[in-house]
Amino acid sequence: MRLIDRYLLRQLLGPTLLATAALTAVALLSQSLSGLDLIVNQRQSAIVFLRITLLYMPQLINMILPIALFVAALVALNRLHTEQEIVVCFAGGMSRWRVISPAMRLASVVALLALILNLWVQPSAFRALRAELFQVRTDLASSMVREGEFTEPVPGLTVYAQSVDGKGNLRNLFIHQLKADGSDTTYMANQGRIAQRNNTAVLILRDGSTQEFSRDGVLNYLTFNEYPFELKSLSAGEELVHYKPSDRYLHELFFPDLQQDWERRNRVSMLAEGHARLATPLYNIAFMAMALTAILGGGFSRLGYGRRIATVGAAAAVVRILGFVVQAQCEQDAWLNILQYALPIGATVVALRGVFRQRVSRFIDIQKRPARIAPAAA
């Protein structure tokens, strides 16, 4: 790579990394705010919250990369063109392709990284995320008890706890259980804690009492120092983690197991997800080409290129929104998947055509020659 190519690439790489980091931080903040339910309602630790937030990042980064590349290219190219550095490159004999090739190479590398994220990193992260969410959802302490609220985790069972501390200790417990034979039992305890005994989840009640009315109307009252209340009816048991299309690898999306009822019914949506994994990296190249045409698709102007940038920016937003619409429609009609590729490729072709349509001047323009001064009369 020649010196001028390396210089142009450095001018683009710095803003790209900065824009990616800034947009990723914004996306991370947005995702963390939406995940506060894990701490507030599910009473999970900060480590679980952070792990779940980070596992969302591969998909978020893939959505951010084209936007970051577009914004960074506009900033870098606008500065280079306004300061006439690109004009000097043309005046030095560089072709238009030679000037834009560092930007297109950078976009191709970013597209390759996005493809790797789509094919391997995202499915792996989302599988770990699904397993983490499954553990949160089946966490007995969080699903059974809400601090200061009466809850009904399963039919016939009502639970109340006045307070729950950070270690999972329950204070001033009230449990009412309606049994299958028609009898009902009430448990009251000063404190309790969920534990494992003989591979079975139990709620250890301490310093409490039980009151049970039999079908004959006889009241049985019993006090205890410690009582193990079994939670078999609440345990996940044989429930399995279900992987959505976003959690599956490419071969699982294109070649589903048709013996499975869910995969047979969702074959078209899985096919749409598979094609989206392959097509979405192309938006990085398309957005770079659109940024190039915003700056290089017209004549040089010292006043800037605000109007062209605004027009191309709106066009880029429309292209990406259409991409989401097409992907959604592909979940209904499999033949529309060709549009997932046609849209970014078409945007790239149109943008590059706008770049090369502009005539290249190899000399710095001079608006007017100075008027010739008539010789003074002798």
String of DSSP letters for 3-17: HHHHHHHHHHHHHHH
| Residue 372 confidence (pLDDT) | 47
Q: What is the pLDDT of residue 210?
A: 92
Q: Name the nearest CA neighbour of 286 among 5, 65, 90.
A: 65
- The mean pLDDT of the chain is 84
Give the Cβ contact number of residue 371 at 10 Å. 6
Average pLDDT, stretch 232-239? 54
| Tokens representing residue 3 in the block | 């010196």
- Between strands 219-230 and 150-154, the pairing is unpaired
Per-range mean pLDDT, top range of 14-23, 37-46, 85-94: 14-23
Report d(CA 131, CA 377) in Å as an integer.
Answer: 97
* pLDDT score, position 369: 44
pLDDT at residue 147 is higher than 70: yes
What are the tens digits of pLDDT across the range 63-72?
999 999 999 9
Longest dimension (CA), the chain: 139
pLDDT of residue 286: 97
Q: What pLDDT shows up at residue 44?
A: 67
First vs last Cα of the chain: how many Å apart? 62
Q: 22-26, 97-101, 131-135: lowest mean pLDDT where?
A: 131-135
pLDDT at residue 182 is higher than 80: no
**Residue 241 and residue 206: Cα distance in Å, rounded?**
34
For residues 250 and 247, give the distance between their C-alpha atoms in angstroms, rounded to a whole number.
10
The predicted model scores a pTM of 0.77
Place of tokens 């450095």: 10
Place of tokens 């300061």: 83
- Cα separations (Å) of 303 from 6, 11, 208? 28, 21, 81
- Residue 237 clears pLDDT 50, i.e. is over it: no
